[in-house]
Every structure is written in C-alpha cells, then in structure tokens.
Amino acid sequence: MVHGGHGQQVHLVTQARRPLSEDIRYRQHRYLLMMGIRTICFAIAIVLFVAHMKWLILIPAVGAIIIPYIAVIFANGGREPDNQRGFLEHRPKRTAVGAPSDSGPEDKR
C-alpha cells in the first residue's frame, strides 16, 4: 500500500505480525500447560500403580512419555503464521498505460 507517491510503504494494523515478546510468551504458556498435563498424567499413573491397576497405568504413562516431546516441538517451532484475519486492503487490477483492456466497450470502426 503506497501513499502520496513518496514510495513509503504503510502497513495496516490488521496485517501486522504479533510482537516477538508476545509470541515467546504464548509459546512459554503453551509449553507450561502441556508440562502441567504431563505432571497430572504421571501422578495418575502412580496412583493406579499403588492401587494395583497395572493395565490402566499404560494410558497415563504413555501420555507422560509422549507429551514432553510434543511440547518441545511446539515450543521450538518458531513464530506463528501471520495473522490474516480482519480487513484487507482492496487492490484493483491495473493495466499498463496504453495497453489494451479487456473490459469496457471499444469503439471499432
């Protein structure tokens, strides 16, 4: 989007990326949430082991083993995709000066 012929590019707020600090905070929050779920799975596995429910231990134990891998992948995955929600500017198709256009009536005599 160029204004006034000065060649300055102006970004719309709806097209701006999130600040890096906000992105890091989001990834840290998601990682800590997943580690909390892992801790709960581990605690449930211990309770089931004490209660001698050995076959049921597998479900939370597998969660406690797999969740850290997934959490690290998500935390190190980099920035989130650009936010493309909201209003976008209208960009009409323009033709070069003197080029024939496909639209509009033409006077052919």
Domain ranges in the chain are 22-75
pLDDT bucket at 62, cuts 50 / 70 / 90 = very high
Higher pLDDT, 41 or 24: 41
State mean pLDDT over 84-104: 62
Q: How many CB atoms neighbour CB 46 within 10 A? A: 14
Residue 63: which of 47, 45, 86 has the closest Cα? 45
Question: Please, which residues have CB within 8 angstroms of residue 17's CB and are 6 or more apart in sequence?
Answer: 79, 82, 83
Tokens of 59: 């479900």
pLDDT bucket at 107, cuts 50 / 70 / 90 = low
Residue 63: which of 47, 89, 44 has the closest Cα? 44
Give alpha helix (H) positions in 53-103: 58-75
pTM for the model stands at 0.57
For residue 89, pLDDT over 80 is answered with no
